[in-house]
Amino acid sequence: MSALSTLDWIGLVGPYAVYFVLLLGYYVLEGRRERTLRSSYSEEINGE
Amino acid sequence: MASSAIAGGASNWVLITFGAYLLVLLGVGLYATRFMDTVGDYVVGGRQIGPVVTGFSERASEMSGWLTLGVPSDAYSSGIMAFLNGLGMIPADLFSWAGIAKRLRKYSEIVRAVTLPTFFEHRLGDDTGRVKATSALVLLIFEGGYVGAQIVAAGELLEILTGMAPWIGILIGGTIVLGYTFLGGYFAVAWSDYVQGAIILLAFIALPIIAFQQFGLPFDELATAGDATVSITGGTTGWAAVFGIIGYAAIGLGVPGNPHIMVRFMGIDRVKNVRTAALVAQLFMFVAYIGAALVGLYAIVQFGGGAIENGDAVMPMLTLELFPSVIAGIILAAALAAMMSSADSQLLVATSAAIEDVYHGFVNEDATEAQLVRYARLATLGIGIASIAFAYFARNTSIYTLVLDYAWGGLGAAIGPTVIAALWWKRTTAEGAVASMITGAVTMVVWTQLPTLLGWFNAMPSESAGFWYGLVTVYGLFPAFVLSVCVLILVSLLTDPPEGVDRSFELFDKPLSAVLEDDRAEEFAPDGGIVAQSGQAHSTIATTTDRIQQSVLTRLDSNVQRSVLEQIETTSRSLGIVEPSISRTAVKDSPDEPVIAVAYPHQCFDVTTTIERPVGSSAQNERIVAVDTVRSIPLRADSVPEFTTESVDEVVVMRPSITDNRATEIAKDATFRWAMRKTVLLDTPEIEIKRQTGGYKLYWLVERNGELIAIDSVRGTQRSL
C-alpha cells in the first residue's frame, strides 16, 4: 500500500498536470492570435 | 553525524575539477568583457538573445541559491509539500509570459527603457524623479538582500567542500563575489546563466534518476520519517493547511516584480519568440521544481530525516554521494559560478540604482563623471560589504527563507503591482506607484517580523487560534502584495493619470510587426533599444512615429490635424541627407499626389571608450552614437551613416535645438553612462570622438484615406499618424 493517500497524490500531481495543459493551451492559442494579428495588420497597412 | 562526516570530506578530484572549472569560467569571463559593447548587452543582452536562451536563462537566473540549495532544503524538512513550491511559481510565470512579456518588450522599446525604474519614469510620465528614486531604493535594498543570500549560499558550498567554518566561508564567498564584480563586471549574462543553469538542471534530472535506481520511489521510506513528510499539507489541517498552501502559492506573486526576470522579457530578440521562450521556461520549471523537491526527498532516504542539521547542505551532499568526484566537482562549481554571476549582476543593479537613479537622478543632477565613478565604486564596495555583513548575521537562516523574505518577496510586493498596472491599466499614476512601492516594501519587512513584534507585546496568537495564527505566519508576500495592489488602485484613482497613454496602449493591440521591423539600412536605434544590425530586430516604427508626431508636427503647427498637408509651409533646400532607399516617387499612389518631406537632423559620432581594468590590458569599446538634435537625446546606431548633399523639394526642415558642441557633450555623456553601467570603473574612462558627421534623415508624409502616413525614407516603414 502506498504511503501517500489519494488526496496527497492529487495534491502532488494535480497542479502540475493542470499547468501542463495550460501551457499547451497558451502555446497553441498564442500562436493563433499572433497569426490573426499579423494577417489583419497586413490588410490594414496594404489597404486590402 | 552525516553532515560533519561529509563536510570537508570532498575528494581531491572534486576540489581539482571544482577549481579548474571556476578558473576556466573566469578566463572566459575576462575574455568576454572585450566584446561587451553596449548598455543593452549589459542589461538585456543587446536584445539579440534568442527564445531558447531567453526562456532558459529566465529560469536559470533563479537556479542560484534558492532553487539549487533552498528548495531541496525545504523538501528535506517539509517532505512532499515542497512540491507546492511550483504551485504559484509555474502559473505566475506563464501568466507573466502571456500578459507581461510582450507588452514590456514593446513598451520598453518605445520609451527607450532598459531598466525598470526608467520604464516606470517614462510610462508614468513622472518628471519629478519620485517614481524612479523610490523604485531604485527598493531595488537597492532587496537586491542587496539577494547578494547577501548568494554569499551565504556560496559560503555553504565552500564549507561543505572544505570543512571551513561558516563565517570563513561567508567571508571568502563575499570576497570572491566582490572581487569578481570588480574584476570583470557583468559579462554575457544570458549565455553564462545558460551554461550554469543547464549543468544544474541536468544534475536535478540525473540525481533523482540515480537515486531511483538505488531506492525506487522514495515515498515508503519517507513515511518512516513521519506522516507529515508524506502529507501534501505537511500534516497540517484546517486554517494551518489553508495558509500553508496560500504561502506556497504566494511565492508566484513575486514573478512580476523581480527585475532579473523582467529584463529577460525586455531582452528577447523578437517579440514573436516570446511564445517559444515561454515554452522553454515553463518546461524548465517543471523539471527543476520536481527535480529539486525529489533531491530533498531522496536526501531523507539517503541520509535519514533530520540527520543533516543544515538543510542547505542536502543538495551538495547528495551530489557528492551519488556522482563520481569529477562530475560532482563540476556541478558544484557550476552552482557556485551561478551564485557569483547572480550576485555580481545584483550588485551592479543595486549600484546603478543607488548612483544613477538616486544620487545622479535625484540628489545631485550636476555630479561630474569623476564623482559618479568614485561613488559607484564606493557604492559597490559598500553594498558588497553590507551584504557580507547581512550574510554573516543571517548565516543561520536558511537560504530558502533568506531569498523569499529579504529579496524575492520585497521586490515582488513593491515592484510587481506597478509593473502589471503600468502595462494594463491606463489609469495608473506616479503617485499610486510610489505609494504602492512603499506599502509593499514596508509590509513585506514588517510581516516577516510580525511574530517577533507581536511576541514582544505578548499578542502573538497561539497555534490553536487557527485563522489568526495562520494569517500572522503566512508568507509575507501574500498580504504585502494585496495591500500594495489596494494602495496602488486607491491612490491612482485619487490622482491624475499621465497624458498620452492611449497611444502607447494602442500599440499593445497591434501585431508585432507594427513594433519591430526588419532593417535594410543604417538606422538610429533608441538608447537601450535594439542594435540595428542586418538580420536582427530593429528600432521601432512606433518610435519613428512618435518622433515625427512629437517633434515635427507639433513644431510646425500646434493645431496640426489631418489637414496638416495644406497647412505647412514647404520649401526647397540643399541638405546633407542619408540617401533614401525609398524615393519620394515610390511612395506616391498617383503622380499628382503631394508628398511632403520632413528632414530630421542628427549628429553621429564614432566613439572609442578606453576602460582601465585591474587585470590584463585596458578594454577598448567602439560605439556609434547618434544624437537627435531636436530632442537632445542620444541614440544608438550600428554604423555612421554617409550624408550626401542633395536638393530636396518641398521639405520641412527641422531645426536643431542644440549646438554641435552640445551634441558632442551628449554623445560623450551617454557613452560614459553606458560604460559605468556595465562594470565597476577604476577611473573615469577615456572617451575619444574618432569621427563626427551630421545631417538629416528624410521622412515622407503622405495622406491615405484621410490619414496622415509617415514613411521612413531609409527603412520604408510606415505608420498612420
Same domain, B611 and B466: no
Per the domain annotation, does B15 fall within a domain? yes
Q: Which residues in chain B are contacts of A8 at CB distance < 8 A?
A: 80, 230-232
Per the domain annotation, does B302 fall within a domain? yes
Same domain, B268 and B143: yes
Instruction: Work out the percent of chain B whose per-residue pLDDT is above 90.
Output: 26
Same domain, B105 and B188: yes
Cell of B49: 538573445
Q: How far away is chain A from the Cα of B166, in angstroms, using its nearest Cα?
A: 35
Per the domain annotation, does B378 fall within a domain? yes
Contact pairs from chain A to chain B, CB under 8 Å: 75
Same domain, B215 and B119: yes
Q: For chain B, what is the domain count?
A: 2
Neighbours of B209 (CB within 10 A): 11
Per the domain annotation, does B383 fall within a domain? yes
Confidence of residue B50 (pLDDT cuts 50, 70, 90): low
Cell of B470: 495562520
Question: Is B615 buried (19+), middle (13-18) or exposed (0-12) by CB count in 10 A?
Answer: exposed
Neighbours of B568 (CB within 10 A): 17
Same domain, B485 and B447: yes
Residue with cell 534530472: B205
Per the domain annotation, does B602 fall within a domain? yes
Interface touch B80/A8, C-beta < 8 Å: yes
Report whether B437 contacts B446 (CB < 8 A): no
Instruction: Compare CB distances from A19 to B80, B91, B230 and report the shortest one's residue.
Output: B91
Q: For chain A, what is the domain count?
A: 1
Same domain, B549 and B434: no
CA atoms within 13 A on the CB side of A48: 7
Report whether B234 contacts B82 (CB < 8 A): no
Per the domain annotation, does B351 fall within a domain? yes
Amino acid in position B439: T
Per the domain annotation, does B506 fall within a domain? no
Q: How far apart are CA B394 and CA B168, in angstroms?
A: 14
B90 touches chain A (CB under 8 A): yes
pLDDT at B301: 92
B258 touches chain A (CB under 8 A): no
Amino acid in position B245: I
Interface touch A40/B98, C-beta < 8 Å: no
CB neighbour list of residue B308: distance below 8 Å, 6 or more residues apart: B1, B2, B3, B76, B299, B314, B317
C-alpha distances out from residue B190 to B28, B50, B305, B700, Å: 14, 10, 37, 39
pLDDT at B648: 84
Q: Crossing angle of helices B325-352/B130-162, nearest 10°?
A: 160
Q: Which residues in chain B are contacts of A31 at CB distance < 8 A?
A: 275
Same domain, B478 and B622: no
> What is the per-residue pLDDT across B230-272, written as a single tens digit (0 to 9) for each?
888 888 888 999 999 999 999 999 999 988 788 777 766 667 7
What is the distance of C-alpha B175 from the center of its chain?
24
Same domain, B419 and B366: yes
Q: How far apart are CA B338 and CA B300, in angstroms?
A: 26
Instruction: Compare CB distances from B272 to A8, A34, A45 and report the shortest one's residue.
Output: A34
Residue of higher predicted confidence among B649 and B80: B80
Q: Is this complex's ipTM strictly greater than 0.95?
A: no
Element (H, E) at B515: none
What is the distance of C-alpha B53 from the center of its chain?
14
Interface touch B511/A37, C-beta < 8 Å: yes
Interface touch A4/B80, C-beta < 8 Å: yes
CATH number reported for the structural domain that contains residue B413 in this entry: 1.20.1730.10
Interface touch B512/A37, C-beta < 8 Å: yes
Same domain, B342 and B270: yes
Cell of B356: 544613477
Residue with cell 557528492: B320
pLDDT at B195: 76
Which of B10, B12, B535 is closest to B316 using CA atoms?
B10
> What is the per-residue pLDDT across B186-216, written as a single tens digit (0 to 9) for each?
344 445 667 777 888 898 999 999 999 999 9
Question: Is B175 buried (19+), middle (13-18) or exposed (0-12) by CB count in 10 A?
Answer: middle
Report whether B181 contacts B48 (CB < 8 A): no
Dihedral of CA atoms B298, B301, B307, B308 in degrees, nearest 10, equals: -10
Domain encompassing residue B484: 2-322+333-494
Instruction: Compare CB distances from B232 to A11, A20, A47 and report the shortest one's residue.
Output: A11
Mode of pairing for the β-strands spanning B571-578 and B643-653 = antiparallel
Domain encompassing residue A20: 1-48
CB neighbour list of residue B379: distance below 8 Å, 6 or more residues apart: B350, B351, B354, B355
Interface touch A41/B511, C-beta < 8 Å: yes
Instruction: Compare CB distances from A26 to B87, B278, B514 and report the shortest one's residue.
Output: B278
Instruction: Compare CB distances from B222 to A3, A16, A37 and report the shortest one's residue.
Output: A3
Cell of B597: 518631406
Instruction: Compare CB distances from B275 to A30, A40, A42 and report the shortest one's residue.
Output: A30
> What is the per-residue pLDDT across B98-146, written as a single tens digit (0 to 9) for each?
999 888 877 776 665 667 888 888 888 888 888 988 998 999 899 899 8
Same domain, B178 and B53: yes
DSSP class of residue B624? E
Same domain, B400 and B470: yes
Same domain, B169 and B107: yes
Q: Which residues in chain B are contacts of A45 at CB distance < 8 A?
A: 718
> What is the per-residue pLDDT across B164-173, written as a single tens digit (0 to 9) for each?
888 888 898 8
Q: How far apart are CA B579 and CA B562, in angstroms?
A: 28
B219 touches chain A (CB under 8 A): yes
Confidence of residue B636 (pLDDT cuts 50, 70, 90): low
Per the domain annotation, does B510 fall within a domain? no
Q: How far away is chain A from the Cα of B484, in angstroms, using its nearest Cα?
A: 27
Q: How far apart are CA B124 and CA B115, in angstroms?
A: 14
